[in-house]
Structure 1
Amino acid sequence: MSMIMVDGIKDIVFHNGIVRIDCLAAGPNGEQRASGTIVIPANVTGPILQSLANAMQELDKKIREHAAEMAAKNGGATS
C-alpha cells in the first residue's frame, strides 16, 4: 500500500465507471506538483466520500474538545 500526500486537488475525472482524483502536494520549493491519483470505482464513490466526511467531522469535534480542555487547564487562554 502506498501513501499520497494531498495538499490540493488538480482534477476529478469520471471515465469507464472509475472516478480518478488527481492530487497535488507542495514540493520542497513550495510549488505544487502532482502527488498521485486516487482511483475509486464509481459505484462506491458516494459511500466512500460520506465516510470521509463523517470521519472529518468526528476528528474536528475531537480537536475542538481537546482545545477546550487545554484552554480550561491553562486558565481559559486560547491561542
Structure 2
Amino acid sequence: MAVAPGAIDAPRSPTTRACPPSGWRRCGRGSWRNTPLGRLGEAPEEVARVITSLAAPDAGFLTGAVVPVDGGALVT
C-alpha cells in the first residue's frame, strides 16, 4: 500500500516558497489551479486522514494499491 500526495501547502514546499508571504492563494503560479478542487492539499491533515483510513480494519482486503491524494490532479 502506498499514498501518493500531490501538491501540499507546507512551509518548505517548492510550491509555496515560490509564492509571496501573503500565501499561495494569491500566487498566480502552480498547477494546483488546474485540479478539480482548485487548491493545494492541507498538510499534514489531509494526507494523514487517508493513511489512517488505509490502516483501519475496514481496509484489510485492500492490497498493492497506490492511493493518490492530489485533489484530482491525475484525472485532469
**Normalised by the size of structure 2, how large is the TM-score?**
0.33
Higher strand share: 1
Length-normalised TM-score, structure 1: 0.32
Larger radius of gyration: 1
